[in-house]
Structure formats: C-alpha cells, structure tokens
Structure 1
Amino acid sequence: MVDTPIFYKEIVPLDRMHHKSFRLKGEPPRYKFAAQSHVVPAIVDEFGMGGRTLPIVFLPGAKVPSAVFLLGMNPGDNRLIASDGRWEDIYVPAYLRRYPFIIGEVEGAESIVCIDQSSELFGTETGQPLFDESGEETALLQDKIRFINDYLVAARRTDEFVKTMAELDLFQTVTIDVQPAAQDRRVMHGLMMIDLQKFNALPDKDFLRLRQMGFIPMVYAHLASLANLDRFALRAEAA
C-alpha cells in the first residue's frame, strides 16, 4: 500500500503471536475515530442502501474522482457521529465498519490481513478476542476477514465504475450551497457529480455498455442521494 488510507495510522500485518492478546472493543466509542471527518469513502455496492439517507458525491483525484458519502458541510464538521462515538443515522458506511481491519496488497505477493494496531478500538483487557487460547482465529476475526475481502472486491468495482464515468465524460464540478434557517450559508466548492443531462444523452452503445456492467442502478442511486443534502440543513439548524 503506497498511501495510508484515511483513519489508519499504523498498518501492520495481523500476527497470531504478536496480536494474540488483542481484543476488539464495541460500542459506544465505535466510530469516534471518524468524528472529525466530513467525508467517508463509499463503494458502489452500498450506493443503493447508503444513498437512502446519505448524499453520495465525488472528490477530484490525481487520475479519477473518488466516491464518498458526505457527512457534513465543512472539514471537521461531522453531523452523524456523536461526541461519544455513536453513529446517529440508519446506514453505517462499509468503510467505517471495516476499520481497524484492512487487506494489505503488495505487488507480486499475496494479499495479507492487516490492522491499525494503534487503534483505540483494540485493547487487551476488554472486548472480544481475535484469537482463542490455542491461537486460532475466533468467529469474530473470521467474520472480519470475510468482510474486508468482500470490501476489497467492491472497492475494485468502484474504481471501475468511477473510471468508466470519467471515460464517458459524465462528471461535472459543482458547488453545494446549504443555508439553515437563521444561520450562515454553508458552501462546498469543487465537488463532483454525474451530469444527468450528459447521462441521458449517451449514445445507445455507451448506455448498453453501462447496463451490461451493472452500473445503471449506481448512477440513479447517486443522483437520488443528492436529495439528502437538505438533511444537513436541518441538522445544522438543530445543532
């Protein structure tokens, strides 16, 4: 891994000897690590479910944009994580549920299970163990490993989706302007969305290509999710 993913600080391979005493803590501080972030990466597999309550937008990248859930209108302004780390919405993004586990990819070698061993979610006194007394993986750890492997597959599919949207020149740069009642306007510049007009004007061959790739529902889920921007105005007003 070249770049350290957001929220991860000390990624190391999971080792049954070195981490045998590690336990994973649960609620309520589960999501406190993300409390200062106003965006969280999104994968296409969750566009439908997550987009019901969370806006899905795209951030400009060096090569292609990145899909994210918008959790607030300004850096450091997270409207969905309480001060004690509780998640205050219906759908929890898969990226948050994956942490502090992750698949490590090394070119020319097999992928390995890694953790952020500096995470406050790990302890040795309380929580659910990762390994049993004989050093074997617990059911909890097996579930986590399945999840992060599934996430990796979905993340690659998300990269393919975003790359395809960029190739078809379907992204547009926008400014989001939300003004809660009796409060200052909150403006975000430089975000990207799929241009519905360009999408509707696609040649038949390109639309068929997207349908065959299974990307049409993701496009509509993204566009429908933008209606949730109004929820941030209401949350800001109530804050």
Structure 2
Amino acid sequence: MTDHAVLTAEDHAELRVRMERDAALGDAVMSCVTVPEEFRRVQAHYPILFRRDVGRDAFMALALFGFEDGENLFLEDGRWDADYVPLALAIQPFLIGAPPAQGAAKQVHIDMASPRIAANGGEGVRVFDAQGRPTPYLETIAEQLGTLDQGWQDCEGFFAALRRHELLEPLTLEITLDDGSTNRLVGFHAIDEDRLRALDADALGELHRDGYLMPLFMAVASVGKLSTLIARKNRRMADG
C-alpha cells in the first residue's frame, strides 16, 4: 500500500526520514531501475543490464544487486556497502508528482506509508527546519529527483537508438558458486559488443551527438562487475 501526498512545510513540518539501510526499510531488492544519466556512477559498483517490459513493449535499465528475488548483496548490518546508491533507491520515500496545472513545475511528493517515515518523531533526518525551510537533506533529494525525472524523459531516445542499431542481445548467465550450487540469470539483455564495434562512423557520430555513446560504453564496462557480485555471493554463503 502507498499513501502519496504533496510535500509541504505546513503538513510535514516535523517529518523525519530514516536513513539507515535495511531489508525492513525496502532495501531487500535484487535490482532497481537506473537511467543513462547515472550509468557512469552506477557502473563503478553494479552490473547494468536491461529488461524488456512486454506490456509496454519497452526496455528499462537495471542496476543488479543480487541473483535472486529479494537478495541485495550490498546490504550489511544497517548500511549499504558501496559508495553510490542508485537514484531510484536513494530518493525513497520521495517521488516526482504531476504539476497542479499545465505548465506549472512538478511537485515533490512523499509516500507516507513508507517504512522510512520515522514514526512519532522518532530518529531520522528532518525534512524541514524549525523555520519551515527545506533542510540540506531535502535540497539534495530535490536535486536527485530532478536528475531522475530528466533521465526518465531521456530514456525514450536512448532505447530507440539501441533498437535502431540492434545493440541489445538476450543474456543468459549460469553461475556456479563455490559450494557447487547454481544460479541462473534469465530474462535480461546486455549490449551486443560485436555490433557496437561494427558500427560505422556515421552511426557512432549520431550516438555521440545525442549523448548516448558514453552511457553505452559505461553499460558495457559494468558487465565486468558480475564477477564482483559473484564474489559477494560466495562470501555471503560462506559466512552463513
């Protein structure tokens, strides 16, 4: 269940948000959506894979945290064991809401049903200060929301270019762990490196002009993080 509301100083003057990372706070996820705008930062820690939404006949990019539903190998003792948390998770429990009127600015909304809302003035970071002004935390969130929203808008052109040049290929990955068990990763796509290398100067120039070439290279580089993720899985299993 969700309970979305427009964020205002009048209605949420005492609101505090819990910042620790924990499964109980919604962080036990195998992956989350990411956008090309943040691929450079995401690829430093996580594999970036792609999945097709059959209902919308559209692709989305995902930062991978584990190999099974509900598995996040970056969660450790109330903290996130990486220097960067993808925007789609970092902004929770906030989201961008539709503007009240055509041409108006979009609004910051908050999910009051989120477990990140500190109950009854409990511990957490304030959203507004004593004078009702946005705290530095909220200012950071607003900036992240803007980046994510713009990233969503830019995705249509990015994925159209990938389809036009046939740069996505299905990926099936079978992983044998140190204990002999097997994890099979199916339903994902990755960048077809052979087709990317074979693009002519005009195609590469078009991708560069539109700002898509760098995110493509970042997605390709990120696949190397699969081995790091496997190592995390082996350590987690060894630790019990």
TM-score, scaled relative to structure 2: 0.86
Give 1:75's aligned amino acid: D
- Paired with 1:139 and 1:237, the residues of 2 have a C-alpha distance of 39
Measured in 2, the distance between the counterparts of 1:217 and 1:184 equals 36
Distance 1:215 1:31, change over 3 A: farther
How big is the shift at 1:30?
A: 6.1
Which residues of 2 match residues 48-63 of structure 1 at below 5 A?
48-61=40-53, 62-63=56-57
The match for 1:121 among 102, 110, 116 is 116
CA distance in 1, matches of 2:29, 2:125: 27
1:89 correspondence with 2:82: yes
| Corresponding residue for residue 68 of structure 1 | 62
Q: Does 2:169 match 1:172?
A: yes
Q: 1:182 to 1:133 in 2, by over 3 A?
A: closer
Structure 1 residues 160 and 30: alpha-carbon distance in aligned structure 2, compared to 1, 3 A threshold: farther
- Distance (whole Å) between structure 1 residues aligned to residue 124 and residue 72 of structure 2: 26
Letter in 2 for 1:45: E
Gaps of 5+ in 1: 1-7
Q: CA distance change for structure 1 residues 109 and 32 in 2, over 3 Å: closer, same or farther?
A: farther
Aligned residues: 230
Q: Give yes or no for the alignment of 1:20 onto 2:13.
A: yes
1:203-227 deviation line (CA, Å, top 9, x unaligned): 4322211011121121111111111
User: Aligned Cα RMSD in Å?
Assistant: 2.2
Q: Is the 8 A contact 1:24 1:128 kept in 2?
A: yes
The 5 Å alignment of 1:176-215 reads 176-215=173-212
Q: What is the match of residue 234 of structure 2?
A: 237
Corresponding residue for residue 35 of structure 2: 43
CA distance 1:114–1:182, shift in 2 (3 Å) = same
Given that 2:39 and 2:219 are in contact with CA atoms closer than 8 Å, whether structure 1 keeps it comes out as yes
- Give identity over the alignment, percent: 22
Relative distance call for 1:77 and 1:25 in structure 2 (3 A) is: closer
Change (3 A) 1:149 1:180: same
SS of match in other structure, 2:79 = coil
In the alignment, the residues of structure 2 paired with residue 44 and residue 187 of structure 1 have an alpha-carbon distance, to the nearest angstrom, of 26
Give TM-score, length-normalised by structure 1.
0.86
**Contact 1:11–1:114 (Cα < 8 Å) also in 2:** yes
Q: Does 1:144 align with 2:141?
A: yes
- The one-letter code matched in structure 1 to 2:48 is I
Separation of aligned partners in 1, 2:135 and 2:230: 43
Between the aligned partners of 2:189 and 2:215, the Cα distance in structure 1 is 15
Matching residue's letter, 1:56: I
Counterpart in 1 of 2:224?
A: 227
1:80 aligns with 2:77: no
The answer for unaligned runs of 5 or more in structure 2 is: none
Q: In structure 2, what is the Cα distance between the partners aligned to 1:163 and 1:115? A: 31
Structure 2 Cα separation of the partners of residues 180 and 30 of structure 1: 25
8 Å CA contact 1:30–1:121 kept in 2: the answer is: no
Amino acid at match of 1:89: A
Q: Deviations over 1:176-197 (max 9, x none)?
A: 1111122311101110111111
Contact 2:171–2:190 (8 Å) recurs in 1: yes
